[in-house]
Amino acid sequence: MIKNTLWCWIALAGMASNIAIAQSTDLAIGIWKTIDDKTNQPASLIKIEEVNGALEGTIIKTFPSPGVTPLVYCNLCKGELKDKPLIGMKIMSNLHQDQIGIWSGGKILDPKEGEYYNVKLATEDGKRMDVRGYIGIPLLGRTQVWYKAEQQ
């Protein structure tokens, strides 16, 4: 009787932890608004989704700054992304959850520079996310704050 009760509690604890992990992954999934570092205005909308157990991000809309020629193609990208349209471009891939609310191990593309960086995401509430792009170690990089977009 005690042995069966113990196994029941272990099974319930395992199910609860799986539910918590699934809910925390949901925090990052959705449409996120990026903010331009210079103008402090919305720059783009990125759709983050889970694909084969990893997070990926795709540009779905851009917001050109007034008076500035909008970046429509990835002119400085290399390889197969060279001169491809930004809309529909996957700029973030292969992020895996480290702990609740934190994902790392992936890459992010800066389409203005055409360069890839390591990336780390962190969100506590699913409404605001810190996106840190870096070279080598997270200490050597910069963080942008993205905000969950309203229904588009």
Domains recognised in the chain with CATH numbers: 2-148 (2.40.128.520)
Q: Count of alpha carbons within 13 Å of 143, Cβ hemisphere only?
A: 11
Q: How confident is the model at residue 137 (pLDDT cuts 50, 70, 90)?
A: confident
Rounded alpha-carbon distances, angstroms, from residue 17 to 6, 30, 121: 17, 22, 21
Contacts of 84 (CB under 8 A, 6+ apart): 73, 74, 77
Please check whether residue 70 is in contact with residue 48, taking contact to mean a CB–CB distance below 8 angstroms.
no
pLDDT tens column, 44-89: 999 999 999 999 999 999 998 888 888 999 999 999 999 999 999 9
Report the alpha-carbon distance of residue 107 to residue 139 in Å, rounded: 16
**pLDDT of the residue at 25:** 54
